[in-house]
């Protein structure tokens, strides 16, 4: 018998082939030599078809996200940390404490093992920093030309915080709208790489885990109505969704919305609106006016919220319009992005 | 404003384009008109970035699986029901009651909406039949040629049954090995389509949700040591894994291993060993000898276990060999499938 199990993967020159997804020795070798050492934790070490987790009591929250970002590596991050942050954030904005993640990989034949190792190391670092372990996973391999390098789906489980009751359906006229920082960094970091744009100061993705920030905001302003991370479709899509879910209107103040100058410049060059561009580490907070200052202070006191701003108000509007007072003194509709301007941004 | 939200998807002639993954109106339309009606349940209807679930108490179990099977539709099933069964089974063989599933879709631009609708309907039917709702999901779209139709990752959460303590690491010398039915049906159903083989009676996938069967077996034989569904790599890979995890050997009796004649014939034609071929609705049970009869009776009393059989024994072997007494009276090693003989079988 050839004992492939004990031979070493060539992490410098090796490439993924179909045998790495076939359930045999090569797959065991990939898991044992690449995934397991990087992501190591007591749950993953169980080595069964899933993970047995500790006793848990409370209302569960689940969220899942497929990640297909292209390119795999970009200024400020990569598909690995992005896939950890994205799902942690989806759990956190439900008002829950994220506890566990799962990760499933779809790999394209020919993928350099060095790229995979770099991505998995990045996931591991993000997971450790967030304190949310990746407890089980799966790997499939498809033929060359049937995927694009690496796709990662992460799923998160959390437990609802006591008293937390937030939903996109809970915005009310009179509520105040806050964002935790400048908009459009992630999307324009990706687009800059794709379009070969360069700036004096490169645009860096804002990808980050927001559960700590969410926790601080809910402690300071327990009456918060809505929490969201404005990812695909940007602030425009997120606010239009919330307006429809809650049956309200929104009025934004353009002059108050933070956008970095490089992001604004890149958007202008590419004919994009920063409000349509994805963020991966920004928190949208909709809060009753009486708690708005407390929420804003909590945001600004956190490293991820230093540039937080109050950007608008929820109003009564049975057309569910999102409108904006422009810098020029006019008013315009903030519609959802209709087209495919920004594919594979996350 | 164009109100795309209220226009209707063309489910007969329409195709997926990049806008369906871009976070805007087209995505809302796809979710609202295709996913939500098919998969409808109270959790999915919350419409937030994740699902808020009821109070839960116990030890959680999580499992995740990416599904990349090709072709998408095959005799006995499709990628939709397969993705529901696969993850339910991974949770069930941990000794847990599956409670909730999430589903993430990676779609290729150009995919007929009719194919997507058929797959989602199949998931919905499988989820309803199993009593395990799909509580939240995600959809991404990649350019034509960057995926292959549909990839689906499902993640399951369950709660460990009281007293259940099963693991691939718990097999002991003297234990008896049972399987719930004939081996190789799923893999050969896929391969028959791919290779254009036809038989008098077509080979049909065994894809099925095994949580009911698992529950009956654990009720009848609470001392069960190991439960597994022998998927990728088939019985060979599963038993070799268990042998390594538990530090034991295995001796199989070829004459006792159920394999349908059409599967045996197709395997011979393609140079495959039925023991290497994936199953998607078969249960492997390793149980102390004293409870073997009870476990076998419970298997046979269930519609999914009528053809259950006792196929071998766990032995002491510090080389962790899986061996087989052949029909011809000889003995051979049952090694793991080394190569990529069966890519994209699940």
Residue A205 banded pLDDT, cuts 50, 70, 90: very high
Average pLDDT for A118-131 = 98
Phi and psi based region of residue A41 (left: phi greater than 0; alpha: psi -120 to 50; beta: remaining): beta
- CA B185 to chain centroid, in Å, comes to 13
Q: Is B232 on the interface with A (CB under 8 A)?
A: yes
Helix axes B292-301, B211-220, angle to 10 degrees: 140
Residue count of chain B, please give it: 346
Residue B6 banded pLDDT, cuts 50, 70, 90: low
User: Rounded to whole angstroms, how far apart are CA atoms B275 and B63?
Assistant: 24
Q: How many CB atoms lie within 10 A of CB A59?
A: 18
Å from A165 to nearest chain B CA?
10
Asked whether the predicted pLDDT for residue A7 surpasses 80, the reply is no
Tokens describing residue A125: 């670092």
User: Across the interface, which of A5, A48, A91 has its CB nearest the CB of B167?
Assistant: A48
Looking at chain B, the whole-number percentage of residues with pLDDT higher than 70 is: 97
Contacts of A337 in chain B (CB under 8 A): 22-25
Residue B73 banded pLDDT, cuts 50, 70, 90: very high
Q: What is the pLDDT of residues B77-115, one digit of tens each?
A: 999 999 999 999 999 999 999 999 999 999 999 999 999
Q: Is A51 on the interface with B (CB under 8 A)?
A: yes
Q: Is the dihedral of CA B298, B299, B301, B303 positive or negative?
A: positive
Q: Which of A49, A143, A337 to mutate to test the interface with B (most CBs of B within 10 A)?
A: A49
Mean pLDDT of chain A: 94
Residue B2 banded pLDDT, cuts 50, 70, 90: very low
Q: What is the pLDDT of residues B209-253, one digit of tens each?
A: 999 999 999 999 999 999 999 999 999 999 999 999 999 999 999
Contacts of A139 in chain B (CB under 8 A): 66
Q: Which pLDDT belongs to residue B90?
A: 97
Backbone angles phi, psi at B111, to 5 degrees: -55, 130
Q: Which of A64, A164, A247 to mutate to test the interface with B (most CBs of B within 10 A)?
A: A64
Buried/exposed B15-47: b ≥16 CB within 10 Å, e otherwise: bbbbbbbbbbbbbbbbbebbbbebbebebbebb
Residue B70 banded pLDDT, cuts 50, 70, 90: very high
Asked whether the predicted pLDDT for residue A8 surpasses 90, the reply is no
Average pLDDT for B105-133 = 98
Query: What residues 191-220 of chain B have any CB closer than 8 A to a CB of chain A?
Result: none
User: Rounded to whole angstroms, how far apart are CA atoms A185 and A162?
Assistant: 33
Q: Which pLDDT belongs to residue A257?
A: 98
Sequence-ordered alpha helix ranges (H) in chain A: 25-30, 36-39, 79-92, 113-130, 185-195, 211-220, 234-246, 261-270, 292-301
Distances (CA, A) of A190 to A125, A204, A238, A278, B23: 21, 9, 20, 10, 16
Asked whether the predicted pLDDT for residue A3 surpasses 50, the reply is no
Q: Lowest-pLDDT range, A165-174, B14-23, B60-69, B170-179?
A: B14-23
Between chains, do A63 and B102 touch, taking CB under 8 Å as contact?
yes
Q: What is the pLDDT of residues B198-212, one digit of tens each?
A: 877 789 999 999 999
Those residues with Cβ within 8 angstroms of residue A219's Cβ, 6 or more apart along the chain or in another chain: A298
Q: Which pLDDT belongs to residue B1?
A: 32
Between chains, do B24 and A337 touch, taking CB under 8 Å as contact?
yes
User: Across the interface, which of B62, B91, B339 has its CB nearest the CB of A19?
Assistant: B339
Tokens describing residue B237: 């890979």
Q: What is the pLDDT of residues B305-331, one digit of tens each?
A: 999 999 999 999 999 999 999 999 999
Placement of tokens 């959790």 in the chain: B43
Distances (CA, A) of B180 to B213, B257, B311, B326: 9, 10, 10, 20
Question: By the 8 A CB rule, do B332 and B198 touch?
Answer: no
Query: What residues 131-150 of chain B have any CB closer than 8 A to a CB of chain A?
Result: 135-143, 145-148
The number of CA neighbours under 13 Å toward the Cβ of B182 is 15
> What domains can you pick out in chain B, each with its CATH number?
18-160 (3.30.1330.10), 176-333 (3.90.650.10)
Those residues with Cβ within 8 angstroms of residue A171's Cβ, 6 or more apart along the chain or in another chain: A225, A226, A242, A243, A245, A246, A248, A286, A314
Instruction: Out of A20-24, A297-301, A332-336, give the one with best mean pLDDT.
Output: A297-301
Looking at chain A, the whole-number percentage of residues with pLDDT higher than 90 is: 84
Average pLDDT for B129-154 = 97
Buried/exposed B192-213: b ≥16 CB within 10 Å, e otherwise: bbeeebeeeeebbbbbbbbbbb
Question: By the 8 A CB rule, do B156 and B84 touch?
Answer: no
């Amino acid at each position: 018998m050839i004992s492939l199990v004990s031979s070493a993967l060539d992490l410098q020159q090796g490439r993924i082939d179909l045998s790495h997804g076939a359930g045999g020795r090569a797959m065991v070798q990939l898991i044992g030599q690449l995934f397991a050492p990087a992501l190591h934790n007591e749950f993953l070490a169980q080595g069964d078809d899933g993970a047995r987790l500790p006793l848990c009591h409370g209302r569960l929250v689940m969220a899942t996200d497929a990640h297909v970002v292209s390119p795999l590596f970009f200024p400020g991050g990569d598909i690995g940390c992005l896939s950890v942050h994205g799902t942690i954030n989806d759990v956190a904005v439900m008002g829950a404490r994220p506890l566990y993640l799962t990760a499933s990989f779809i790999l394209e034949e020919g993928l350099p093992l060095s790229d995979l190792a770099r991505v998995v190391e990045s996931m591991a670092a993000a997971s450790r920093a967030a304190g949310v372990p990746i407890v089980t996973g799966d790997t499939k391999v498809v033929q060359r030309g049937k995927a694009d390098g690496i796709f990662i789906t992460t799923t998160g489980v959390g437990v609802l915080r006591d008293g937390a009751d937030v939903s996109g359906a809970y915005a009310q006229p009179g509520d105040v709208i806050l964002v935790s920082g400048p908009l459009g960094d992630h999307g324009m970091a990706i687009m800059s790489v794709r379009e070969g744009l360069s700036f004096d100061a490169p645009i860096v993705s804002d990808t980050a885990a927001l559960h700590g920030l969410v926790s601080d905001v809910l402690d300071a302003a327990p009456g918060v109505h809505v929490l969201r991370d404005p990812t695909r479709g940007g602030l425009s899509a997120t606010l239009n969704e919330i307006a429809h879910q809650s049956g309200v209107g929104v009025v934004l103040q353009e002059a108050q919305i933070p956008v970095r100058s490089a992001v604004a410049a890149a958007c202008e060059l590419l004919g994009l609106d920063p409000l349509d561009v994805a963020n991966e580490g920004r928190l949208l907070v909709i809060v009753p006016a009486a708690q708005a200052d407390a929420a804003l202070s909590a945001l600004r006191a956190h490293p991820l919220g230093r540039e937080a701003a109050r950007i608008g108000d929820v109003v009564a509007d049975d057309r569910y319009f999102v409108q904006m007072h422009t810098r020029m003194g006019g008013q315009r509709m903030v519609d959802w992005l209709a087209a495919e301007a920004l594919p594979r941004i996350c």
